Copies of this chain bind each other. A is one copy, B any other.
Amino acid sequence: MSTIKDIAKYTGLSVATISKYLNGGNVLPENRKLLEKAVKKLDYRMNHIARGLKTRKSLTVGVLIPRLNNIFYSTLISHIEIALSAAGYSTIICAYQDDPDTELARLDFLLGKGVDGLLFIPLGSSSKCFNLLTASNVPVVMVDRTFEGIECDAVLSDNFGAAYNTAGYLSQNGHRRIGVILGPEGVYTADERHQGYTQAVRDFNLDPEPELIQRGNYGIDSGRSCMEKFLSMKNRPSAVFVTNYEMTIGAIIALEYGNIKIPDEVSIIGFDNLELAQTIKPPLTIVTQRLNKIAVEAVKLLLDRLRGNSGDNVTVKKFSTELIVRDSVKRI
């Protein structure tokens, strides 16, 4: 592997000139030619490590997420990676497996790696990252979830609205007993959706029974057991909505298993995954989030910070969700 010095030797020019050339500066046409030839001939490739040491930039962004084996996150990351690489950044991915200690450790790891910026889907209120985050100076954009009380850019879905409108839609269709399967307490999105739901219960005069709110852990099994709880109630909900993809799968498995007809016996609204929705019989009514927009906006905000054109105040964007109506809700 040849270095800038080898090029200098080969061309007779100084390393400074070569550095300038490599960074798009002006050099004499003849020297440009010479350099192009030398670069090709010596198969020169920039050592980004060395450059990074000098410039204090790694052109690397850390992406810290709960898990990777989850279609919601992996789709989001896919869009993020495309947007970042288009801007010349590489993406270091760390998953913390839903664990607060791992979350902190991975954050520390990324910071230590010298990432220029961070895209972060934090655990939620049980997160231990607040201090480390505020102490470090790397720009952070929260994605999908955020912390209460932290001062940084965030790009979120309108989770409150998603839950509120979904319950509203069910109410319009005559449902009064509406079950909801939420994520764990303390997870930002789950809490917001919870509030949207309870507000809808008030506004639309829905049945306020506490057992209509079940909490899963976003896994398939938990979706299944939550739905089974609903089915075992003396007075079942007439409709259930589930707030992520995996739990939606679990809920449907429970219904299949119990031989419950959708939507005749129970109406159901799923979350996040259009593809799944179409394979189910009947096709599922679902709430989808604008993952592409969220990813692109988050990357944009981060790049603005990295390039220093952001000003002092933070930006928080919320994207509305979309209700895609199919056949899994019965009008009663």
- List the interface of chain A (C-beta within 8 A of B): 43, 45-50, 52-53, 58, 60, 67-69, 71, 74-75, 77-79, 81-82, 85, 90-95, 97, 106, 109-114, 135, 220, 246, 249, 252-253, 256, 275-276, 278-281
Report whether B67 and A78 are in contact in the complex, using a CB–CB cutoff of 8 Å: yes
Report whether A279 and B280 are in contact in the complex, using a CB–CB cutoff of 8 Å: yes
Report whether B220 and A45 are in contact in the complex, using a CB–CB cutoff of 8 Å: no
How many protomers of this protein does the assembly include? 2
Known: A75-B69, A278-B253. A85 touches B90 (CB 8 A): no
Smallest beta-carbon distance A217→chain B, Å: 15
* Known pairs A53-B53, A85-B106, A92-B93 / 4 extra A-B pairs, C-beta < 8 Å: A49-B58, A69-B74, A78-B95, A91-B94
Known: A53-B53, A114-B48, A275-B220. A90 touches B94 (CB 8 A): yes
Q: How far is the CA of A220 from the CA of B82 in the complex (A)?
A: 21
Report whether B78 and A112 are in contact in the complex, using a CB–CB cutoff of 8 Å: no
Residue among A45, A60, A93 with max Cβ neighbours from chain B (10 Å): A93
Smallest beta-carbon distance A1→chain B, Å: 8
Smallest beta-carbon distance A331→chain B, Å: 22
Q: How far is the CA of A280 from the CA of B90 in the complex (A)?
A: 38
Minimal Cβ-Cβ distance residue in B for A110: B90
Q: How far is the CA of A327 from the CA of B46 in the complex (A)?
A: 57
Q: How far is the CA of A327 from the CA of B75 in the complex (A)?
A: 31
Q: How far is the CA of A109 from the CA of B45 in the complex (A)?
A: 10
B residues less than 8 Å from A46 (CB atoms)? 112
Report whether B95 and A92 are in contact in the complex, using a CB–CB cutoff of 8 Å: no
Q: Which of B50, B78, B94, B279 touches A69 (beta carbons < 8 Å)?
A: B78
Residue among A50, A114, A279 with max Cβ neighbours from chain B (10 Å): A279
Q: Which of B49, B109, B249, B252 touches A49 (beta carbons < 8 Å)?
A: B49
Smallest beta-carbon distance A296→chain B, Å: 14
Residue among A50, A85, A109, A112 with max Cβ neighbours from chain B (10 Å): A85
